[in-house]
Each structure stands twice: as structure tokens, then as C-alpha cells.
């Protein structure tokens, strides 16, 4: 049913669920991923991150989207409602809470739909139980997480803390730096998540406000091209069927009994989910151009980060360069699978590694420390919590202080 | 009592096929199991059950399943949202011609009273509001039975549970009344609600037969006498279930076309004592000292319920 085709950068299974070149009901042409991402001409548009989510979903042949309606962090769900009204989605409705929404998504994916939803902050935590269930059930649902603060006192400012809760959920986790990343990650995320040897849920994460609410120039693929729809019959656990998994499997839950066969089945299934995350590497690298981006990593000092902290790091590097301090940059694009080899290789000559983060937990620094040699090279910070920006000057100050260079106080600068 | 044409009149009328095989992991004498057996006899095997964690989760235990139909477990609080997703996806696929009619099936949520009355109530309310086309089968044993019989929103006043034992300070055990799910559901005006009892197979089957011809949320509350939690000999399940109806504690009724109709009205109600004294969970009302005040209050609750309809 599927054949492997050569993409310019790797091997992606080409969908033959619909005939390529035919049109959907909105007049968009079903297009192969290679053509859509690497050949089709792109046009520059000036959009907010939320609008970018809408533009991506417009081209993604999504079957169902279920929304929790309030929009404290992003109006993306409401914009997708507009797409439904225009006829781009088969179904869209308002769920009663994030927890219910994620379970509704599961039901829809069991039924063979390509499913997309969004959440943020407290909603992510409210929905939490379902994410592990998605992964264990091998449902390739995509959730776009527009990350914001979760702690009390309540904050709707950007904070990447919730990503640390998702680390071991069994989902693929990609972290977009810019609106352009977000656009590409959403579309490409469907393709990687639905590969038969992966077939896992994916959380495409971005930093709230900085990405969702600000406008940026984004190169969009043509409006009249769309992805081929999800083919439930290429699932490694066939789509809903009375006699086949996953329904067949879900009606025989593994974990309900204390016996050896239950234990070993559960254990091997968890290993399989993790193995599937690993197997996503080759598809991911082919589509998004490697799991990390590297700039001048031959320098003694490196900034290694993900999300908008990378943008701030890049600006800090420019400021430091004016003072003659040379710093390199490593941008991590996928948190799961974590780019162990790539990071280890990229930082092997660095003497000091700074990890600026938009959260107080420092989970990215921990991840990095856990995979590199001589991890006392890692300086965990600077870190800020929700409600605060992470000015590049703060990163500059952190690096200079560490190098023993005197710095003036930043107090009173309104940052 | 309204008699509907074509309905079952005697036990021999019931569908001879079984959609659930005997020999599951549930306790001997489980009233709810008999209820779901009778329900599935009427609905047939093309049923997908979306389950909430509870006693009945033990029905489908890898690698065995007693069902001819299908079974889906997502999370304890969200079997109804799962059913919603499945229903919508199947509808889309049918409309698009990607699913043959014979491959389609009815979606039924099977949940205990804990999930139904407590953590799963909000999603259920939302699904009724959205007019989801599904069956809801609540096996009501009036506590969280699977984990050792802890107090649920459906535990009746005067019953002892693990988390509400009868003590000197709390002589009644459970001090709050049973949450009235029937009325809560009714407030949203779904097309069909019924209470059913495994002791009344013809009544139960007729209710499922009627519900089958309707669309939308069709909700069933099945009294599930629970030998382990309620404390009685498994062979007495049917007697307990019968007493629940005969005492008027568990009224058999249905809500259809905006009307509540009682389908079995006890001619002369047996005193509640006869029902209570046979169960260990009410033993503290009789031993070591009879607590007349509590027993009277339970009897008054039953009498005032029926007074509304007499």
C-alpha cells in the first residue's frame, strides 16, 4: 500500500491513500510531502503564530479538531473553527474541558481520523493523563502546545515548564523557535507521527505570546496544495476494527491483571513506544533538517537552548561579539527524541555551555547534562519564570559574570 | 403501565443469543453482570463498549475477553468523550463512504456509579448536551466496589462503606443521601433514561428494545447488588434485587417523550427493613443496638418519593 520514496534529505513513506494530484472538496491538490516541502514555491506572509497554526491546518487535511474553547494563550482553536466553517475540516466541536478534549481526540483517532488540537499551561496539565494513553494506544494525534505559566500565582505569560511534564509521556516533542518553525513543524509533524514505524502522538510546542501573539514573516507553502489525508490502514496497529488492534487490544487491556504475561506485555509495549520514538529520528532529520542547528560550535563558549530562548541567545551572541567575546550556538529542535549524539558532538570542544531557559526548573539543562561528557561545563541558566522576559542582556551578563568580567547592574532598566 | 406493541412478555421471548460469554473475572453473584448480559442480548454483538475504570474493567483481561463486541478503555473519567470521538469518526467515515454499514456499531459507555456520579459526570453532561448518539450503562452498586467498597456519590444514607464506616460518632455510616443521577440526567432532557434491575429481565429487555429505536443519549441505571461490598450470599443477588424493587427503594422507571413512567409499581411496599437487614453494610442499623431513627428516616425517604406519584 505504501512505498518508500527518496526525498532530497532522506526516506519518507509516501502516502498513496488518495491519488496524488486529485483535488479535495476545497479544490486543494493532494500533494506529496517532498514536493510540498522541498519543491513548491513559498510566499512570504506577515502573521501571528496563532494565524500560522491556522494556515498550517488549512493545508494539513485534518479530519477532526476538538477545541477547548477558551483562549488564554492562543486563539488558534477559534481560528480552526473558522476553517471548519469554511469546510476544510470534516468535524470540529467544543469539548467541555481539556481532559475531555484529549479523550475525544483519542476516540476520533481510534476511528481513523487525522486529529489536531491545541492546549496550553494549566490545560496541558489537566489533560495529562490522556497523553500517555495516546502514546500507549499508538494514536498519531497532534497537539500544539502554546506554552505558558502553570504555577500559582496564575500567569498567562510564556513559560516552558509544562514541557518537562511531557518528557516521558511517550509523545514526540518538538520545540519551535519561531513562527516559521511552528508552521513547518505542524505540517511535517503529521507526516513523521503517522509513519508506520513511528505512529505516535506528537506535541508541537512553542513559547506562548512570543510566538503566538507576535507577528513574524513566515514562508508559506501554496494555499492550493494540501497533505494527503491520514491513512488509518497504514497504522502498525490497524484502525478500528472489531477483530483487530487497537480496539481488539484495548478490549484486552494488558495491565489489569497481576500475572507474568501482563507484566511482560506491558513492559515490552513501553519499550516499543520508546523504540518508536527513536525510529522517528530518521524521518525527522530528513524533514526538518536534523534535530539540531549549529552555529560556530568551534568556539569555547556555547549557548545551547530550544524555543525562543535560542532567539534571545542569538541576540546575546551579537551583543557579546561587539565586545569581542565570541560565542557559538546550538539550537535543539526535538526534545523527544532527544538529540544525544548530535549534542554530544556539537559541544565536544566547548569549555563553557550556557543553557538559557524560560522556566525555573531547568529541565533542558538537565537533559543536556545527562548526555554529554564533563557535564560540569554546563551552566544552568539564566532561567526566568512565567511573566518575565529573558532579555539578551541577562544572558550577556550571565556569561560575562562567569568569565569574571565586571558588569553593570541591570536593575532599573525595566527588564 | 403502558404496554407497547411487540414487546417481550415472557422470558422465552428474549433473544436466545448471548453476546457475553460466562466465566469472567467478576465476583460470583454480581448483579451488574447479569444486567449487562441482558442488555447485550437485546443490543446484539455490534456494540463498542467504552469503559471507565471499575469492576467491569476486569471483564476484558488480557488475553481473555468475554465479549463478542468490542471494548475500549481510555481513562476513568473520560469514557464518554472517548465514545464521542469514536461516534464522530465513524459518522465521518460512513458519510465519506469509507465504512460499510455492517461494519458500523452502536457505542455504549459502561461505567460504575463512582465514575458516573463523581469524576465522569461533567463529560456525560456535555455529551448529553451535544446530543451524542450513544448508550450509557451505569452498573450501580452504590460505592467504589473494585477497590474495596469506598464511599461514592451514589452510596445511600445509612450504609457503611470502607471510607464511611459506622462508628459511635457517625452511627449512620454514610451520612449523605444517594445522588439522584436519574433526575440530574433528566434535567438535560435526553431522549431516553431508564432504571433497570437484573431481577426484572423482561422490563430491562423492553427498555433496551425501546431505546434501540431512538437516537441520542440513552441512559440506563442498573441496580447491581454486590455480594462482596453489600455483604450477602452470592445466591441471594436476585432476592436482594427483588427486595430493592418491592420495598420501593429502587423504583423501576423510564423517561421518554418528556414523561416519567414507572414500569413496575409495588402494589404494597414491603418495609425497607426487609431489604436492609439482609446486608452487612446495613448491619449496624440492627446490631448491637437497633437504630430506629435511621431506619425510619430511610423508610420516610422511600415513602415521600412514592407519595409524589400516588
**CA nearest A362: which of A163, A143, A228, A115?**
A163
- Domain carrying residue B74: 16-307
Q: Do A93 and B130 touch (CB under 8 A)?
A: yes
Q: What is the reported pLDDT for B102?
A: 81
| Residue A254: pLDDT over 50 | no
Residue B2 has φ and ψ, to the nearest 5°, of: -80, 135
Q: Could you tell me if A132 lies within 8 Å of chain B, comparing CB atoms?
A: no
Q: Which residues contact A325 (CB under 8 A, 6 or more apart)?
A: A301, A399, A400, A403
Cβ-based contacts of A256 with chain B (< 8 Å): 57-58, 60-62
| Residue A3: pLDDT over 70 | no
Q: What is the reported pLDDT for A264?
A: 76
Cα distance between residue A208 and residue A73, in whole Å: 6
Q: Which residues contact A196 (CB under 8 A, 6 or more apart)?
A: A2, A13, A234, A235, A236
Tell me the per-residue pLDDT of B142-183, one tens digit each, with 9 for 90 and over: 999 988 899 999 999 999 999 999 999 999 999 999 999 999
Cα distance between residue A244 and residue A239, in whole Å: 8
Q: Could you tell me if A265 lies within 8 Å of chain B, comparing CB atoms?
A: yes
Which of B58, B74, B92 lies at the smallest CB-CB distance from A256?
A: B58
Let me know: does A186 contact A53? Beta carbons within 8 Å. Answer: yes
Strand ranges inside chain B, DSSP E: 47-51, 70-73, 106-112, 134-140, 192-196, 217-223, 252-256, 259-264
Cα distance between residue B210 and residue B5, in whole Å: 11
**CA nearest B265: which of B173, B215, B208, B200?**
B200
Q: What is the reported pLDDT for A20?
A: 86
Q: Do A103 and B92 touch (CB under 8 A)?
A: no
Q: Could you tell me if A248 lies within 8 Å of chain B, comparing CB atoms?
A: yes
Q: What is the reported pLDDT for A268?
A: 83
- Residue spans of alpha helices (H) in A111-258: 122-136, 161-166, 179-194, 247-250
Cα distance between residue A317 and residue B267, in whole Å: 88
Q: Could you give the count of Cα atoms lying within 13 Å of B255 in the half-sphere of its Cβ? A: 20
Q: Which residues contact B263 (CB under 8 A, 6 or more apart)?
A: B1, B194, B203, B206, B207, B252, B253, B254
Please tell me the distance in Å from A131's CA to the nearest CA on chain B. Answer: 11
Q: What is the reported pLDDT for A16?
A: 62
Cβ-based contacts of A111 with chain B (< 8 Å): 85-86, 88-90, 92-93
| Residue A150: pLDDT over 60 | yes
Pairing of strands B259-264, B252-256: antiparallel
| Residue B58: pLDDT over 70 | yes
Cα distance between residue A239 and residue B91, in whole Å: 15
Q: Could you tell me if A242 lies within 8 Å of chain B, comparing CB atoms?
A: yes
Cβ-based contacts of B86 with chain A (< 8 Å): 107-108, 110-111, 240
Q: What is the reported pLDDT for B147?
A: 86
Q: Do A64 and B73 touch (CB under 8 A)?
A: no
Which has more pLDDT, A234 or B257?
Answer: B257
What are the DSSP calls for A26-89, one per residue?
TSPEEE-HHIIIIIS--EEEEEEHHHHHHHHHHTTT-SEEEE----SS-SHHHHHHHHHHHTSS
Residue A341 φ/ψ region, left for φ over 0, alpha for ψ in the -120 to 50 degree band, beta for the rest: alpha
Kindly tell me the burial class for residue B138, based on how many C-beta atoms sit within 10 Å of its own C-beta (0-12, 13-18, 19 or more).
buried
Q: What is the reported pLDDT for A6?
A: 53
Tell me the per-residue pLDDT of B235-247, one tens digit each, with 9 for 90 and over: 999 999 999 999 9
Kindly tell me the burial class for residue B104, based on how many C-beta atoms sit within 10 Å of its own C-beta (0-12, 13-18, 19 or more).
middle
| Residue A386: pLDDT over 80 | no
Q: Do A103 and B81 touch (CB under 8 A)?
A: yes
Overall fold of domain A292-402: Rossmann fold (3.40.50)
Instruction: Extract the C-alpha cell encoding B182.
Output: 436519574
Q: How far is CA A287 from the centre of its chain?
A: 14
Please tell me the distance in Å from B289's CA to the nearest CA on chain A. Answer: 42
Cβ-based contacts of B126 with chain A (< 8 Å): 95-96, 100
Kindly tell me the burial class for residue B290, based on how many C-beta atoms sit within 10 Å of its own C-beta (0-12, 13-18, 19 or more).
exposed
Please tell me the distance in Å from A257's CA to the nearest CA on chain B. Answer: 7
Please tell me the distance in Å from A84's CA to the nearest CA on chain B. Answer: 14
Cα distance between residue B32 and residue B227, in whole Å: 11
Answer whether residue B265 is part of any domain: yes
Mean of per-residue pLDDT scores for chain A: 87
Say which residue the cell 476520533 belongs to: A108
Let me know: does A284 contact A305? Beta carbons within 8 Å. Answer: no
Cβ-based contacts of A248 with chain B (< 8 Å): 70
Q: Do B70 and A95 touch (CB under 8 A)?
A: no
Let me know: does B74 contact A130? Beta carbons within 8 Å. Answer: yes
Cβ-based contacts of B65 with chain A (< 8 Å): 251-252
How many Cβ atoms sit within 10 Å of the Cβ of residue A8?
A: 9
As a whole number of Å, the end-to-end CA separation of chain A is 56
Torsion of CA B274, B277, B281, B287, to 10 degrees: 150
Cα distance between residue B101 and residue B95, in whole Å: 10
Which of B70, B90, B126 lies at the smallest CB-CB distance from A100?
A: B126
Q: What is the reported pLDDT for A311?
A: 95
Tell me the per-residue pLDDT of B82-134, one tens digit each, with 9 for 90 and over: 999 999 998 998 888 878 888 888 999 999 999 999 999 999 999 999 999 99
| Residue A323: pLDDT over 70 | yes
Structural domain count, chain B: 1
Which has more pLDDT, A254 or B41?
Answer: B41
| Residue A257: pLDDT over 60 | no
Q: Do A130 and B78 touch (CB under 8 A)?
A: yes
Q: Do domains A29-234 and A292-402 have the same CATH topology?
A: yes
**CA nearest A61: which of A244, A224, A262?**
A224
Which of B49, B77, B83 lies at the smallest CB-CB distance from A99?
A: B77
Q: What angle separates helix A98-110 from helix B79-95, to the nearest 10 degrees?
A: 40
Please tell me the distance in Å from A280's CA to the nearest CA on chain B. Answer: 25
Let me know: does A227 contact A187? Beta carbons within 8 Å. Answer: yes
Cα distance between residue B19 and residue B43, in whole Å: 9
Q: Could you tell me if A52 lies within 8 Å of chain B, comparing CB atoms?
A: no
Let me know: does A70 contact A98? Beta carbons within 8 Å. Answer: no
Which of A108, A251, A254 lies at the smallest CB-CB distance from B85?
A: A108
Q: Could you tell me if B21 lies within 8 Å of chain A, comparing CB atoms?
A: no
Tell me the per-residue pLDDT of A64-123, one tens digit each, with 9 for 90 and over: 999 886 655 678 888 998 999 999 999 998 888 899 999 999 989 988 899 999 999 888
Please tell me the distance in Å from B6's CA to the nearest CA on chain A. Answer: 31
| Residue A11: pLDDT over 80 | no
What share of chain B in percent tops pLDDT 70?
Answer: 97
Q: How far is CA A291 from the centre of its chain?
A: 12
Q: What is the 3-state composition of chain A as percent helix, strand, coil, each rounded to the nearest 5?
A: 40, 20, 40
Mean per-residue pLDDT, B57-77: 81
Q: Chains A, B: CB contacts under 8 A, how many?
A: 147
Q: Which sign does the torsion angle of CA B264, B265, B270, B274 carry?
A: positive
Answer whether residue B9 is part of any domain: no
Q: What is the reported pLDDT for A1?
A: 29
Q: Could you tell me if B85 lies within 8 Å of chain A, comparing CB atoms?
A: yes
Please tell me the distance in Å from A151's CA to the nearest CA on chain B. Answer: 24
Q: Could you tell me if A93 lies within 8 Å of chain B, comparing CB atoms?
A: yes
Q: Could you tell me if B134 lies within 8 Å of chain A, comparing CB atoms?
A: no
Cβ-based contacts of A253 with chain B (< 8 Å): 57, 60-62, 73
Overall fold of domain A29-234: Rossmann fold (3.40.50)
Mean per-residue pLDDT, B186-199: 97
Let me know: does A394 contact A156? Beta carbons within 8 Å. Answer: no
Tell me the per-residue pLDDT of A213-247, one tens digit each, with 9 for 90 and over: 999 999 999 999 999 999 887 888 755 554 554 45
Q: Could you tell me if B106 lies within 8 Å of chain A, comparing CB atoms?
A: no
Question: Is residue A283 helix, strand or coil?
Answer: helix
Q: Which residues contact A401 (CB under 8 A, 6 or more apart)?
A: A407
How many Cβ atoms sit within 10 Å of the Cβ of residue A377?
A: 17
- Residue spans of alpha helices (H) in B115-266: 121-129, 181-186, 201-212, 237-246
Q: Domain limits of chain A?
A: 29-234, 292-402
CATH number of the domain residue B257 falls in? 3.40.50.970
Cα distance between residue A275 and residue A271, in whole Å: 6
Q: Could you give the count of Cα atoms lying within 13 Å of A96 in the half-sphere of its Cβ? A: 18
Cα distance between residue A273 and residue A285, in whole Å: 19
Q: What is the reported pLDDT for A414?
A: 47
Cα distance between residue B98 and residue B108, in whole Å: 22
Amino acid at each position: 500500500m505504501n512505498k518508500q520514496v527518496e526525498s532530497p534529505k532522506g526516506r519518507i513513506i509516501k502516502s498513496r491513500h488518495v491519488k496524488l494530484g486529485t483535488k479535495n472538496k476545497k479544490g486543494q491538490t493532494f500533494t506529496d510531502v517532498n514536493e510540498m516541502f522541498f519543491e513548491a514555491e513559498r510566499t512570504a506572509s506577515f502573521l501571528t503564530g496563532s494565524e500560522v497554526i491556522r494556515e498550517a491546518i488549512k493545508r494539513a487535511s485534518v479530519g477532526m479538531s476538538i477545541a477547548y474553547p477558551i483562549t488564554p494563550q492562543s486563539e488558534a482553536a477559534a481560528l480552526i473553527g473558522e476553517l471548519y466553517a469554511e469546510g476544510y475540516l470534516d468535524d470540529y466541536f467544543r469539548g467541555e474541558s481539556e481532559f475531555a478534549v484529549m479523550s475525544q481526540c483519542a476516540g476520533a483517532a481510534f476511528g481513523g481520523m487525522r486529529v489536531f488540537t491545541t492546549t496550553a499551561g494549566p490545560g496541558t496539565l489537566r489533560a495529562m493523563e490522556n497523553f500517555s494513553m495516546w502514546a500507549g494506544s499508538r494514536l498519531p494525534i497532534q497537539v500544539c502546545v502554546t506554552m505558558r505559566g502553570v504555577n500559582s500565582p496564575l500567569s498567562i505569560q510564556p513559560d516552558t515548564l509544562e514541557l518537562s511534564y511531557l518528557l516521558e509521556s511517550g509523545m514526540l516533542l518538538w520545540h519551535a523557535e519561531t513562527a516559521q518553525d511552528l508552521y513547518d513543524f505542524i505540517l511535517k509533524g503529521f507526516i513523521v507521527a503517522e509513519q508506520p514505524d513511528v505512529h505516535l502522538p506528537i506535541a508541537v510546542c512553542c513559547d506562548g505570546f512570543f510566538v503566538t501573539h507576535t507577528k513574524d514573516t513566515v514562508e508559506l507553502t501554496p494555499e492550493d496544495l494540501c497533505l494527503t489525508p491520514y491513512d488509518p490502514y497504514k497504522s502498525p496497529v490497524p484502525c478500528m476494527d472489531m477483530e483487530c488492534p487497537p480496539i481488539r487490544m484495548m478490549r484486552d487491556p494488558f495491565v489489569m491483571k497481576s500475572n507474568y504475561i501482563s507484566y511482560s506485555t506491558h513492559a515490552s509495549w513501553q519499550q516499543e513506544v520508546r523504540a518508536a520514538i527513536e525510529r522517528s529520528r530518521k524521518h525527522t532529520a530528513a524533514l526538518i533538517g536534523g534535530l539540531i542547528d549549529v552555529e560556530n560550535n568551534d568556539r569555547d563558549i556555547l549557548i545551547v537552548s530550544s524555543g525562543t530562548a535560542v532567539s534571545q541567545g542569538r541576540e546575546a551572541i551579537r551583543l557579546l561579539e561587539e565586545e569581542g567575546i565570541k560565542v557559538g550556538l546550538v539550537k535543539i529542535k526535538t526534545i523527544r527524541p532527544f538529540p544525544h549524539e548530535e549534542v554530544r558532538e556539537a559541544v565536544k570542544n566547548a569549555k563553557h555551555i550556557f543553557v538559557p531557559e524560560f522556566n525555573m526548573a531547568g529541565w533542558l539543562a538537565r537533559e543536556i547534562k545527562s548526555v554529554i561528557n564533563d557535564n560540569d561545563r554546563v551552566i544552568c541558566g539564566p532561567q526566568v519564570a512565567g511573566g518575565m522576559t529573558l532579555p539578551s542582556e541577562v544572558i550577556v551578563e550571565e556569561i560575562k559574570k562567569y568569565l569574571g568580567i565586571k558588569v553593570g547592574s541591570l536593575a532599573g532598566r525595566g527588564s | 403501565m403502558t404496554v407497547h406493541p411487540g414487546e417481550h412478555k415472557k422470558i422465552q421471548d428474549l433473544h436466545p443469543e448471548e453476546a457475553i460469554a460466562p466465566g469472567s473475572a467478576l465476583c460470583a453473584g454480581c448483579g451488574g453482570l447479569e444486567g449487562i448480559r441482558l442488555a447485550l442480548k437485546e443490543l446484539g454483538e455490534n456494540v463498542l463498549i467504552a469503559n471507565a475504570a471499575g469492576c467491569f474493567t476486569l471483564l476484558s483481561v488480557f488475553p481473555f475477553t468475554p465479549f463478542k463486541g468490542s471494548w475500549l478503555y481510555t481513562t476513568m473519567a473520560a469514557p464518554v468523550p472517548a465514545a464521542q470521538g469514536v461516534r464522530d469518526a465513524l459518522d465521518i467515515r460512513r458519510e465519506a463512504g469509507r465504512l460499510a454499514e455492517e461494519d458500523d456499531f452502536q457505542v455504549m459507555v459502561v461505567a460504575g456509579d463512582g465514575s458516573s456520579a463523581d469524576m465522569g459526570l461533567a463529560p456525560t453532561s456535555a455529551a448529553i448536551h451535544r446530543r451524542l448518539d450513544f448508550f450509557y450503562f451505569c452498573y450501580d452498586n452504590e460505592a467504589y466496589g473494585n477497590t474495596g467498597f469506598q464511599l461514592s456519590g451514589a452510596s445511600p444514607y445509612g450504609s457503611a462503606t470502607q471510607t464511611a464506616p459506622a462508628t459511635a460518632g457517625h452511627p449512620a455510616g454514610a451520612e449523605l443521601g444517594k445522588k439522584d443521577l436519574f433526575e440530574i440526567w433528566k434535567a438535560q432532557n435526553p431522549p431516553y433514561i431508564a432504571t433497570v434491575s437484573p431481577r426484572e429481565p423482561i422490563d430491562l429487555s423492553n427498555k433496551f428494545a425501546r431505546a434501540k429505536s431512538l437516537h441520542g443519549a440513552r441512559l440506563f441505571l442498573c441496580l447491581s447488588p454486590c455480594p462482596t461490598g453489600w455483604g450477602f450470599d452470592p445466591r441471594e443477588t436476585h432476592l436482594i434485587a427483588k427486595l430493592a424493587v418491592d420495598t420501593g427503594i429502587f423504583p423501576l422507571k423510564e423517561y421518554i417523550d418528556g414523561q416519567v413512567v414507572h414500569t413496575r409499581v409495588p402494589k404494597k411496599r414491603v418495609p425497607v427493613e426487609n431489604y436492609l437487614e439482609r446486608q452487612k453494610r446495613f448491619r449496624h442499623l440492627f446490631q448491637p443496638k437497633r437504630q430506629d431513627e435511621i431506619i425510619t428516616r430511610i423508610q420516610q425517604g422511600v415513602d415521600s418519593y412514592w407519595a409524589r406519584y400516588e
